[in-house]
Structures are given as C-alpha cells and as structure tokens.
Chains A and B, each alone.
Chain A
Amino acid sequence: NAGVTQTPKFRILKIGQSMTLQCTQDMNHNYMYWYRQDPGMGLKLIYYSVGAGITDKGEVPNGYNVSRSTTEDFPLRLELAAPSQTSVYFCASSYSEKETQYFGPGTRLLVL
C-alpha cells in the first residue's frame, strides 16, 4: 500500500492564482482530512469528509473548497491565492473519526 499520497510536493503561486492540491489514499478509509500547518505551529483542520459525496468545514475553511467524488480522492482547491495561504498542507485519512490518522508527506505552498 502506498498509504496517503499528495501532489505536488512544492508549489509557488502568485497572488490571485488558483490551484488544486491532490490527495489519494489506497486504504479504503471513509474519513479524509485537510490540514494546514504554519511554521512552528500545530495542525489546523480546513475541511474533512466522512465519505464519498459528503464534506464539511473545519476550523479554517475560508479561501478553500473541497470535493469527494470517490473514496480514494479528496482534492483541495484554492481559488484566489493569498499570501496568508502560504503554509504546508497535509492530507490525512482514517477508518473512523477516532481512529489513527495516516498523513501524507505534505505540500509546501508559497504565495507571493
């Protein structure tokens, strides 16, 4: 199993540009999450999904959108990139809401 994979690993965006961060898991987990981690800080939940077709907002959803058309994929969309969105983005998945979360390697995003 590859676990949780994320692409790209690193991206530089100009202010106002848009992009999609990809996340795929091969563990057949129902739950998937997107977090952002600012330098030296913990994790903040952006969006999560409890299954295909179901998504919900986390702590910091503004400026982001998600979709979950399949169990495996959970892309995160930034429509109008802002410098405040410079961060490292982690995707994670779990069997249920209380079980171990398995994290991807992260996408480092720089908005200039």
Chain B
Amino acid sequence: TQLLEQSPQFLSIQEGENLTVYCNSSSVFSSLQWYRQEPGEGPVLLVTVVTGGEVKKLKRLTFQFGDARKDSSLHITAAQPGDTGLYLCAGALAGNMLTFGGGTRLMVKP
C-alpha cells in the first residue's frame, strides 16, 4: 500500500475535454508537489502547495491542496495533446523526505 494513492491510474480523453486527477493519503503533509513526466524524460516540477485549501493555477492547470493537507487534486481544462504524460504527486511528511505516488498516466487524443 502506497502512502500516496493516485487516481485514476490511466486516463484517455479527447482534445478539449476537462479532467481531474486525485492524490489521496491518510497522512498529513507539510507540502505537496505535482510533477509531469513526458515520455522518455525525467519528471519536472509543476507546482508546490503548502497551505491547506490552497489553490494554484498554471495556465489551464488548477491545483488544490485539501483543507486537512491529506489530499490534492489537479484539474486540466480543455486538455491538449501536449498535456499527455505521467502526472506524479509527491508529499513531504514532517521530518521526512518526499514520497511519490504511483502516478496517473494521461493520454490526450487529437
């Protein structure tokens, strides 16, 4: 059982659709990061959220940190083929290192 559970594991949608992916845990995190990994490359940081209830926007991507800091969501509006990739959440427990979730693999078809 992973400390961070991501859902769904796989998502295939058409260009222009909206989607939300989730990152859940029973633990409280001091901060949570979202990374995107494109095929053949390493993960790259998208955003870090640190405050319960925090919402951050990055163009068509909206990230939310749960009020209790146990969960987070990533919402993509009007998905584009360039959004295709593996989305990983990573949480920092107090005094410990980042722990990565299992990832959500997104495919956006033209």
Residues of A within 8 A of B (CB): 4, 31, 35, 40-43, 45, 48, 90, 92, 94, 97-98, 100-101, 103-106
B100 within 8 A of A: yes
* Tier of interface size on chain B: 20 to 34
Give B residues with C-beta under 8 Å from A: 2, 6, 30-31, 33, 40-45, 48, 86, 88, 90, 92, 96-98, 100-103, 105
Report Cα–Cα, A48/B97, bound state, in Å.
10
Residues of B within 8 A of A40 (CB): 105
A39 vs B98: C-alpha distance when bound (angstroms): 22
Contact check, B42 vs A105: say whether CB atoms are below 8 A apart: yes
Contact of A105 among B41, B86, B105 (CB under 8 A): B41
8 contacts between A and B (CB under 8 A): A42-B100, A43-B43, A45-B100, A97-B97, A100-B48, A101-B43, A103-B42, A105-B42
Cross-chain contact A43 with B100 (CB below 8 angstroms): yes
Interface SS majority for chain A: loop
Q: A98-B97, A103-B42, A105-B41 are in contact. Are A41 and B102 (CB under 8 A)?
A: yes
Decide: B42 and A106 in contact? CB cutoff 8 A.
yes
Q: Provided the pairs A98-B98, A101-B98 are in contact, do residues A41 and B103 lie with their beta carbons within 8 angstroms?
A: yes
> Are B96 and A97 in touch, CB under 8 angstroms?
yes
Complex alpha-carbon distance, A35 and B97, angstroms: 14
The residue in chain B whose Cβ has the minimal distance to the Cβ of A48 is B97
Given contacts A42-B103, A98-B30, A98-B31, contact A92 B42 (CB under 8 A): yes
